[in-house]
Chains A and B, each alone.
Chain A
């Protein structure tokens, strides 16, 4: 990795407390463009907490976050989305009761003016944009964008969210356990998409329990444990087996990359 580049995201000495529980302890980490980073750790290690800061859902108790060199002081999902940070989670991101077209632009719906002044949702654009993603990201041919999202399979919903993230010209895609509950073929498809995004120059942060799966995909592996960063290493420097051993042993000593 080229360490002279400016990181796209820089997190410095991040602490986050929920009451008396310290979810993140002095975590410092950099993320670069065009990189696929595997963020690994056991349940409660702080993976999801860390990325929820990036997606604007939590504000750190202390520490600094920089995006493209600029200090971030306010944390809100809307602000994160505006910066081009998209989080893809298994259970979140799509509303089952709404059509695919209505879900597509949720939160930033296109509006046209009828008679020059009455604002109305631009359904033509919503259908067109969502149809393109349905076609290009491997959903069934029979999927109609006027159908509810509830009718999509788990893999299709994930693919659709990824497609939306790409279409919105995001810079950062955070994938939180993106392949849970997916079939083998759907899993391969989603992982292929993750690699494609990285090849297009996006930063992809891939969160998982499965060190073996992410070791195949990632350029760099970060392991969190009890809210601390214990490993941050280019994947070439350590085998998946060795990394798994670290997670299993619960070693608190930081491993230098």
Chain B
């Protein structure tokens, strides 16, 4: 049974089985609604937004770091995009907003790597700090885009629905899965990133610049969170003080459910995407079935721990059966 063993060695094995079970259960319970276009469109949209953040979080978890600030960065970049658009035009505003995101990522990296601080502390500080900036920015007016701005093609590129009636954000998400899977598993940088997460000392001894690898991962994580924010407001240009709240925790949960090990070096982009899909699908279905929304939060907690237990068990088991 080497094929079966090979399958379970993949970090996304658990979540693939989880998603199959999800389909079976929801088909049995609520087929009519589950396969409705409305549900599919809703789930794909939410998966795309959270999934982009979860991909970035996965990159950092892979190198044994974490970014707790993504929820606030997501909100701040979205607000920056909206606020600058009327004065400098949408394309420039898009670029400026992403520069803001990249700068935050770089700042996180510098504080963690140069300052030798825990990424947990640095980004927790960022979570509060950028949320505070959002409070200030939305104090007098909650920025939003006017109809003539949102109808521009550049905004539609991120917020419209051009193919199959699904949001463009979903296609961007699929593109991000492909691009980041390619980066992670098909080019030298990805190999360096996985090595850095697995054994930073060994990676360094082979000439891999652990600092550069991690810095790029921090920047990518912030950029993806910001991009997710832009996609959100390009579709629904409303903001408020709570925009992006709790996104960081859901993204981390999605990454872990998708098979990323917090000990580093193990995880995948597809796993993070499926983990996100699993969470958003369950949330959507619980709402449809009329369950109180508080159930969802408890459910996330349960699935998170359950997935961690299963993944750890599988990894240990596989290593045991393989060694001499």
| Chain A residues near B (Cβ < 8 Å) | 55, 57, 76-78, 81-82, 87, 89, 91-98, 102-103, 106-109, 111, 119-121, 147, 150-151, 153
Contacts and interface: CB of A to CB of B under 8 A. Distances in A.
Of all A-B residue pairs in the complex, the 3 with the closest CB atoms, nearest first, are: A97-B198, A78-B207, A107-B206
A93 B195 CA distance: 10
A95 B202 contact: yes
A109 B188 contact: yes
Contacts of A82: 207
A139 to B, nearest CB: 12
Contact of B188 (A111, A147, A150): A111
Given A77-B206, A95-B202, A147-B322, A106 B195 contact: yes
Interface of B is mostly: helix
A228 B112 CA distance: 37
Contacts of B99: none
Interface centre among B191, B203, B265 (most CB of A within 10 A): B191
Contacts of B207: 76-78, 81-82, 107-108
A222 B250 CA distance: 58
A57 to B, nearest CB: 8
Interface of B: 186-188, 191-192, 194-195, 197-199, 201-209, 264-266, 319, 322-324
Contact of A107 (B194, B208, B265, B323): B208
A230 to B, nearest CB: 29
B188 A97 contact: no
Contacts of B265: 95-98
Contacts of B203: 95, 106-107
Given A95-B265, A108-B207, A121 B191 contact: yes
A22 B197 CA distance: 33
B200 to A, nearest CB: 9
Contact of B206 (A81, A97, A111, A120): A81
Contacts, number: 84
Contacts of B188: 109, 111, 121
B205 A55 contact: yes
A177 to B, nearest CB: 15
A77 B205 contact: yes
Nearest to B204: A77
A106 B191 contact: yes
B191 A98 contact: yes
A121 B199 contact: no
A93 B202 contact: yes
Contacts of B264: 97
A109 B191 contact: yes
A98 B206 contact: no
A87 B202 CA distance: 11
Contacts of A77: 204-207
Contacts of A107: 192, 203, 206-208
B205 A92 contact: yes
A97 B187 contact: no
A92 B202 contact: yes
A89 B202 CA distance: 9
A63 B324 CA distance: 48
Nearest to A156: B324
Nearest to A123: B186
Contacts of B187: 111, 119-121
Contact of A106 (B208, B319, B324): B208
Contacts of A121: 186-188, 191
B299 to A, nearest CB: 30
Nearest to B319: A150
Contacts of A91: 201
A89 B197 CA distance: 19
Given A78-B207, A81-B207, A98 B322 contact: no
Nearest to B263: A97
Given A97-B197, A106-B191, A109-B191, A87 B323 contact: no
Contact of A151 (B197, B201, B205, B323): B323
Contacts of B198: 95-98
Nearest to A88: B205
